Structure 1
Amino acid sequence: MQWNLEIRINEKLYLRDPKSSELGKNILKEGILMIEANGIENFTFKKLAIQLNTTESSIYRYFENKQLFLLYILSWYWQWLEYLIIYKTNNISDTNKKIDIVLDVLLLNTQDYIDGGPEVDKRVLHNLVIKEASKSYLSHDVNTFNENKFYKPYKDISIRIAGLFQEINPEYKFSRNLASTVLLMSRNLYFFMQNLPSLTDFPETKEISKTKEFLKQLITNSLV
């Protein structure tokens, strides 16, 4: 089942709402495709303008720079994942099943998507996040960005997952540490599996199920 979802983005991330025009929507769509294919380092608004057959200045009317553009994309993605977790765990009392759902959402091992947002294949968006998300906070601007609440969607999904861990074991002292670790490792292990397989225990199979198995074991062993 698919549901339409409207997500509100921090207004400090953009100059003009890209959802308000066809050009803005195309900026999001093509920008995501270009960043996923070539990385944020090689992405420029000039290249995007050429791809869209528009002017570079027209893109700057929507976003001040490519760092804020990336943060806009990530903000939408983390809120989307959090809504998926809320929707799919609603009325589920079995904590073991809730853990499965959370991991399936983080690994995008699910077909129940909530529609909305950038008009691109959500797996392309997922691949972008795997490769680029950590760059958004491993930055000299991290404190300024944090003061502007640009990382709030990432914190929110981490806190929600930590809440699940607290629900399972209220005595566990490190629920936030575990949640942030699972969030990070769900991306890193997938990246290692595809690009640096010798860093994993499943270099040949490259199966998402193996990543899920490891993360679930990490969670359950920690919460015992």
Structure 2
Amino acid sequence: MTYCVGLKLNRGLVFMSDTRTNAGVDNVSRFRKLFTWQVPGERALALMTAGNLATTQSVVSILEERTKAPSERRPSILEIPTMFQIARYVGETLRDVIHSNSATGQKADSAFNSTIILGGQVKGMEPRLFMIYPEGNFIEASEDTPFFQIGETKYGRPILVRAYNKAMSFEDAAKLLLVSFDSTVKANLSVGLPLDLQVIDRDALRLGMSKRIEGEDPYYQTISNGWGEALKKAFDSLPGFSF
């Protein structure tokens, strides 16, 4: 399993993913799930994956190959003119990879399923954020749904729902995501550090700050310990229940 979150803010987009994959409690590995592309001054893109590892690696490899090999260059996510068309192309690629590995035909076999968060900005257009489903269709973030989660979503969702603010800074967004991920890591062994963080600033048209956060990272430890203590204090401050 995995956990990935994409946030849409007034300032741009923020992405965070874990790196743990497992096929049982005694078979745990690290694989990157956050991938980026850019043409500085023209576009910046980020993509996160959850689901079958072979499926997600195949999709990313196809996208990457078509940005580099001249004979396979078209279509390329570095040339497709809009984020909507890029999302549609990524969805089609995901659907085709699942279909090629599934004996069930057009319906996605759950054994090969994968879900993708895609976001970025193309010159002259607004930053956009999408969640792409195994069948190839997708939805876009909006005022009512300003962030997407994929993977093991339930443990980290409450803090996002309560504390998200579209006007928040990138620094506060990173802090919010770390709390969300820490809650998930503590509740589910299938999600684990290190975490990958990527920022795309509105209208910068290049990748912004990125960071890999290891378990021993001092700030992560401060967030993890501080959030636990803050929850205890908040609980103790609530009025007592009476029968």
TM range (shorter): under 0.3
Could you say which structure has the higher helix fraction?
1
**TM-score for both structures, normalised by structure 1:** 0.24
